[in-house]
Structure 1
Amino acid sequence: MNTTEVFLIALTIIYSLPYLIWRIGRTDYFAPLVVVQIVTGILLGPGILGSAFPDCYAFVFNKQVIQALNGIAWWSVMLFVWVAGIELDLRQAWQHRLESTITAGLALGVPLGFGCIAGLGMLMFEGWMGAKAMPWQFVLGIGMSCAVTALPILILLMEKLEVLRQPIGQRILRYASMDDIAIWAVLALILLDWERVGRQGAFLLGFAISAYGIRKLMAWLPERDRWYVGIIALAATGFAADWAGLHFMVGAFLAGAILDGCWFNQTQMDLLRHHLLLTVMPVYFISAGLKTNWAMGGTAVLVVAGLLLFVSVFGKLLGTHLAGKILKWKRGEASLIGWLLQTKALIMIIFANVLLDKEIITSETFTALLLMAVLSTMMTVPVVSPKLARMKSIIFRSK
């Protein structure tokens, strides 16, 4: 078979297998389709399919096919992160800045601190830190991975729970939006390269100047043209960020964050996010699974994944409970918010992918982080649903 035919076989597997597991297994309550796609990526990776059926794995996921899949994966995740940047609405956070700052700061800072402690512990053993990492980069990367909240997936889960448009949902979006800014700022700090600091400075200066011009242009353009101009700016900013050593994903987020969501039709934005998850993001999830590695032994990877999951959940819940004490929330409110902010899949996987690409973490560490992200996200709906049923009055609290 030629490369095109094998590529189409790979796509057939990528789209059909997770869908069948999700639909026949009726996993939606604890594992939405996006989570099933990530898990399927792990199953199709070299550590499981490649180990059990090496010849099949080598045939379907050969070098040429993986290169083609990576191209789709890069562009799809850039578009998804761009949409996430556009959907950031910091004006609401500013209107409730004291409450939002306290909650977002503790919800991010406490698991970040615990995650950094876990990262320091991992440094005591070989095989977890990447070849090009400095210890502080590795520790901070692990810490932030434990603190991340996946804003796009959080939106999907809150839609499923029917609280997205309710006051509690809008509050949680404010907290997650502020944390989202911090996540990308920390990633930029981790990727700071003193050998290319001149390039990075030039990129940031050039971006600040171009952002002013793009905002003026977008405000003047009709909506139909804003989509085209926005996507052109996305590709250009992604290239410039990668050239500067900050990774194209940082550029994708910045390209979206400088745009106002009100410039775009919200229904079309929701449809774009939906269609990305339907048509191209499964390729990204599978490509993430193909990077998993169990070379250190499944037990070691599972132990580290379990440790990071505990640190992440405990840290997030402790942070929101501290915020609840300060802000005098009702009983149970902090736990509800903490579990929703615990949602990690996608953004944490993107974050960990960047760390892996830059050799700050090893593929074994990436595998552990991927498992932690999947498990934490799978826990969200089963834990939150009964809490919401018991605490109806909290849904309508605006602060």
Structure 2
Amino acid sequence: MHMGTTEIFLIAMLLIFAVPYLIWRVGGTDYYAPLVIVQIITGVILGPGILGRAYPEYYTFVFNPQVVQSLNGIAWWAVMIFVMLAGIELDLKKAWEHRRESTITASLALGTPLVFGCIAAFGMLGFAGWIGPKAQSWQFVLGVGMACAVTALPILILLMEKLEILRENIGQRILRYASLDDIAIWAVLAVIMLDWDRVTRQLGFIVVFMVATWLFRLLMARLEERDRWFVALIWLVAVSFAADWAGLHYMVGAFLAGAVMDAHWFAQQRLDFMRQTVLITIMPVYFLSAGLRTNWAVGGSAVFVAAAVLLAASLSGKLIGTHIAGKILKWGQGEASIIGWLLQTKALIMIIFSNILLDKGLITNETFTALLLMAIASTMLTVPMVYPKLRRAAQLIVKTS
């Protein structure tokens, strides 16, 4: 029986939503693998390296070019909204109030894994199949190093909600550290994306963006909240388009669009609801889209070895960095370990970051696959490692005033 593109698209959507939900619910994976992680893993399983290799005919039937293009369109919009929300949720005022502690911790928590990740990436340069066709060595090394240093702020919020520490003292401190790291991550990405052939466009984008931001903020301050949501989405599309046109990438624009908005413009409950809705309704398509880009051409064992090395660089870097910060700031026993394990949460932001590197030809699909596996492993480790530590260090859980 012949099926049209619409029917095949709906089969793909059925797989995207049904398979991870059943694994998560029936398997009871929530402790070590929340639904968002299961969705990412399912995307990898449904990708060309596993489903495509085991059942190539079924794979090419369901994920044909027309269906994949339709899914990509949804994925682009999903991740633009999600990254904008991550920008809105940055709490820079709190970070400024506690600037010494926040700056020391954020710098060490980002800088140490960045150095370790760059060392691992430099080693990968000695082997074929990892560096992208359009990358200079420094772009590859810095890009992979930063991927090891990334903290996924939106997923960190979800995990701290699960651990019931988000609104408490230690949770708010961790949000401050992660907010500063988030800015550094996107700033480094902008440096990596600099295109000297289009540097005039990029400088022009920065100047126009600054002027437009001033006008946008004046407008938003005068609008009711219900109008702010619509204007925010229009602003998101405009800034994303301008950033992509300038050669920086539309996701850099999406983050900037959110970062210049004030969270108090929107009710916290609605922001939380918006984030949850995006995660439930359209982000699973992005996870599948990421899974379709995985590749094992250099050999499955080589990809797993690379992922393990990158995971070791990321974990050791975060933990060493936060322990050094703890010594400087005289934290209590066990505090540095809890903060380090939470800040090493990767998942979405690292996948978004790696997708940009892949889009720009700075890494190969094989490197992307290794980074994706590293992100999955690091995030799955978070709750099992942190929960027992929190129980042993109950004195850290102090309500914020």
Please, what TM-score do these two structures have when normalized by structure 1? 0.99
Partner Cα separation in structure 2 for residue 398 and residue 302 of structure 1: 42
1:15 alignment counterpart: 17
Per the TM alignment, residue 364 of structure 1 is displaced from its structure 2 partner at its CA by: 0.1
Partner Cα separation in structure 2 for residue 323 and residue 120 of structure 1: 26
Q: Secondary structure at the match of 2:165?
A: coil
2:179 alignment counterpart: 177
Whether contact under 8 Å (2:121, 2:141) holds in the other structure is: yes
User: Counterpart of 1:286 in structure 2: which amino acid?
Assistant: L
2:104 alignment counterpart: 102
User: Which residue, 280, 283, 295 being the options, matches 2:282?
Assistant: 280
Partner Cα separation in structure 1 for residue 228 and residue 173 of structure 2: 29
User: Which residue, 332, 335, 338 being the options, matches 2:337?
Assistant: 335
Per the TM alignment, residue 397 of structure 1 is displaced from its structure 2 partner at its CA by: 7.8
Per the TM alignment, residue 395 of structure 1 is displaced from its structure 2 partner at its CA by: 1.7
Residue pairs, 1:153-232, within 5 angstroms: 153-232=155-234
Whether contact under 8 Å (2:167, 2:400) holds in the other structure is: no
Whether contact under 8 Å (2:86, 2:258) holds in the other structure is: yes
Q: What runs of 5+ residues in structure 2 fail to find an aligned partner?
A: none
1:68 alignment counterpart: 70
User: Counterpart of 1:329 in structure 2: which amino acid?
Assistant: W
1:40 alignment counterpart: 42
Whether contact under 8 Å (1:171, 1:398) holds in the other structure is: no
Partner Cα separation in structure 1 for residue 113 and residue 92 of structure 2: 22
1:84 and 2:86 correspond:
yes
Per the TM alignment, residue 336 of structure 1 is displaced from its structure 2 partner at its CA by: 0.5
Q: Secondary structure at the match of 1:344?
A: coil
Whether contact under 8 Å (2:201, 2:246) holds in the other structure is: yes
Whether contact under 8 Å (2:194, 2:247) holds in the other structure is: yes
Partner Cα separation in structure 1 for residue 391 and residue 100 of structure 2: 29
1:138 alignment counterpart: 140
Q: Secondary structure at the match of 2:147?
A: helix
Per the TM alignment, residue 307 of structure 1 is displaced from its structure 2 partner at its CA by: 0.3
Percent identity of equivalent pairs = 68
Superimposed CA distance per residue, residues 151-174 of structure 1 (whole angstroms, 9 cap, x where no aligned partner): 000000000000000010000000
1:379 alignment counterpart: 381
Whether contact under 8 Å (2:46, 2:52) holds in the other structure is: yes
Question: Which of structure 1's runs of 4+ aligned residues deviate more than 4 A?
Answer: none
Superimposed CA distance per residue, residues 324-376 of structure 1 (whole angstroms, 9 cap, x where no aligned partner): 00000111110000000010000000000000000000000000000000000
Per the TM alignment, residue 223 of structure 1 is displaced from its structure 2 partner at its CA by: 0.7
1:152 alignment counterpart: 154
2:28 alignment counterpart: 26
Per the TM alignment, residue 89 of structure 1 is displaced from its structure 2 partner at its CA by: 1.1
Please, what TM-score do these two structures have when normalized by structure 2? 0.99
Whether contact under 8 Å (1:44, 1:286) holds in the other structure is: yes
RMSD value, Cα: 0.9
